[in-house]
Amino acid sequence: MELQLLETEVRRRDSVVDPTTYDLPVLNFPQEEGETDEAYAERQNTAIADCIDGHLRFKKDGTFRKVVLIPRMLEFIADLFFARVDMAILWKPRGSGGSLAAAVLIFLVNVYHRKSFVNIAGSGEQSLAVYEYIRGFWDYLAEFKRNMILGEPLAMKITLINGVYVKCITGSEKAARGKHPSCLMVDEACQRDERTDLALAAAMQTPMSEPDRMIVLVSTFHHPTGLFQEHWDYADEKGFTKYKWTIFETMAQCHQGMNTATEEDPKALNHCKTSCPLTRKVAVRDKQGVIIDWAFKGCNGVARDTHGFQTYDQVRKAKNMNAGSSTFEIEYEGERPEFGTNIYAPAKIDAAVSRCPVDDAGRSYIEWDYESPKAIGVDWGLQETALVLLSLERGRGYAGVMEYLQLTGKLVPEVARYLDEWHATYSPSGKTIPVFADYSHPYNNIELGQRGFEVVDVPFQRYKDFGIGNLGRYFEYERIRVLPGFAVLVRQLHAYRYGRDGKPVKKDDHGPDALLCAMMAFRFTETFPEDIFTSENVDADAEGELKSEEVMEF
């Protein structure tokens, strides 16, 4: 009698954890006799695509939305779910479904394979993004959730009644070296911090020895060296299968310029090459640097045959917002980050100088007036300190560098003396010009504040990337003027490059950093919105996915 009760309870629990009980389809079906491997894989792919389309919804802005799969996303999910591969590395573009695909995979493995999964991320924000997608799937399947989830989901862990769980953690040394199940997702595996790389690498060691392991590295490839780069470059040797897609593959089918299509050019690809901002023409050079041909990069007609979820305007907005830097090409197009690349385009720096008018005596000048808003930037150094004075001439369409000084061995009182002179010259009415000073020398900033200046601290650790992007747009859209007499500043702007660690080289950089600080006062997207938001049909839903700027708190 007791044995019958035990068997009944086992059947009941098996029924509860069986997804087909809740109208989810069967996915773990066998290969039919005589069915080829290719046909079997196609049938599996169709089944999992139908399952995702018919039963999974993620939550955004309080509403449930369908998961739109592009072919490469389906391939990534299906290959791992059906154990065609056990270790994978995904080079994903920003805002293009990589984290959503990872969440789908984790959910399906939890439910159908009854295997636990740990998602360890390079940042807490990223681990939370994947976790929120998974929670949304469960919220949509409300009855399934009531019967399957053990208690209420915790902040970063969901446990099923059969003991299976998903846990999302940040890649700290302590968390990484803990005991993990055989399924591991390393999210945002491309990091600048070597300590994070070591922690993520340590986390991968536990499941490596498991016979039923699943190890997945997922990241935007925005840093040229480290854990992600090593596993991508040596994927075959390490046993990882590569997956990659670009933002253009996630677009809905594009019809821009199709009115120019002809019999010889039925997809109007000539429009893509000559008129579309999502396609760029680049020079092909030989070893001596001589141009031998031209090539087209970017979309270049890819979106003529896609059926994704991004609109043309969403993608164009992402590109516009990242103009003046290599961010869009690297993080959205999938261009590989390189060492030694210029942070600001040399041609745009030259344009900022050459566009200054010249008076009858042959001297360059910048038109400005006393009422225009102004800002001062300060970059402190142990040996040298740089000062920049900017005037925002909104009506004239630019920000002008009015003064530049690079001081050697000068203390705060000497810096304050120059700031007093600038106030007297450019703000004779006594209106305070804010001083945006880098926070590497906090006591210097405090002393300036005690001397009566309005000082705004700029912590580079948090705002350096934003500042580079903001200043880069002024150069890209030719909204800045720099007098040729500021030769030291111009030279340093030309030499400003990324180093092997993916960060700006800390050498001869005082001028660019002081200019970056001053420009913090004039956020480009607010100062010249007409350059960025060129379309009236931008889908607001894309802004959270595509926006790369951090909201400034100054």
Q: Which of 28-42, 191-205, 507-521 has the lowest mean pLDDT?
A: 191-205
* Three-state secondary structure call for residue 103: helix
pLDDT at 540 over 50: no
**What pLDDT was estimated at residue 545?**
36
pLDDT at 548 over 80: no
Indicate the domain borders of the chain: 2-27+37-245, 263-309, 346-546
Above pLDDT 70, what percent of the chain?
88
pLDDT digits (tens, 9 = 90+) for 5-29: 445 444 445 556 788 878 889 999 9
CA 439 to chain centre: 25
pLDDT digits (tens, 9 = 90+) for 217-275: 999 888 777 888 889 988 998 999 999 999 999 999 999 999 999 999 999 999 999 99
DSSP state of 503: S
Architecture of the domain spanning 2-27+37-245: 3-Layer(aba) Sandwich (3.40)
Asked if residue 388 lies in contact with residue 401, where contact means CB atoms within 8 angstroms, the answer is yes
Give the N- to C-terminal CA distance of the chain in Å, as an integer: 73
- 120: pLDDT confidence band, cut at 50, 70 and 90? confident
Asked if residue 114 lies in contact with residue 240, where contact means CB atoms within 8 angstroms, the answer is no
Asked if residue 134 lies in contact with residue 144, where contact means CB atoms within 8 angstroms, the answer is no
Asked if residue 215 lies in contact with residue 87, where contact means CB atoms within 8 angstroms, the answer is yes
Task: Pull the structure tokens for residue 512.
Answer: 């660019």
Q: Residue 243: what residue type?
A: Y
Q: Residue 542: what residue type?
A: A
* C-alpha distances in Å from residue 550, one per residue of 321, 521, 525, 554: 12, 14, 12, 12
Antiparallel, parallel or unpaired: β 374-379 and 241-244: unpaired
**What pLDDT was estimated at residue 210?**
78
**What pLDDT was estimated at residue 11?**
47
Task: Pull the structure tokens for residue 216.
Answer: 């997945």
Antiparallel, parallel or unpaired: β 157-159 and 165-170: antiparallel
Asked if residue 214 lies in contact with residue 208, where contact means CB atoms within 8 angstroms, the answer is no
**How confident is the model over 452-474, as a mean pLDDT?**
91
| DSSP string covering 309-366 | SB-HHHHHHHHHHTTTSSHHHHHTS-PPP-TT-BSS-HHHHHHHHHTS-B-TTS-B--
**What pLDDT was estimated at residue 174?**
58
DSSP state of 113: I
**How confident is the model over 469-477, as a mean pLDDT?**
90
In this structure, the number of other CB atoms found within 10 A of the CB of residue 320 comes to 20
Q: Which of 95-99, 259-263, 496-500 has the lowest mean pLDDT?
A: 496-500
Please tell me the pTM assigned to this model. Answer: 0.71
* Plot region of 340 (φ>0 → left; ψ -120 to 50 → alpha; else → beta): left
In this structure, the number of other CB atoms found within 10 A of the CB of residue 438 comes to 27
d(Cα 338, Cα 499) in Å, to the nearest integer? 9
State the CATH class of domain 346-546: alpha beta
d(Cα 469, Cα 320) in Å, to the nearest integer? 11
d(Cα 538, Cα 523) in Å, to the nearest integer? 20
What's the chain's length in residues? Answer: 554
Closest residue by Cα to residue 381 from 417, 406, 413, 416: 406
- 495: pLDDT confidence band, cut at 50, 70 and 90? confident
Kindly report the average pLDDT of the chain as a whole number. 86
Lookup result for tokens 């915790």: 154
Asked if residue 324 lies in contact with residue 465, where contact means CB atoms within 8 angstroms, the answer is no
Asked if residue 389 lies in contact with residue 520, where contact means CB atoms within 8 angstroms, the answer is no
pLDDT digits (tens, 9 = 90+) for 66-92: 999 999 999 999 999 999 999 999 999
For residue 228, give the H/E element and its range. Answer: helix 227-233
368-372: long-range pairs with CB below 8 Å, 24+: 368/393, 368/400, 368/402, 369/393, 370/426, 370/427, 370/428, 370/429
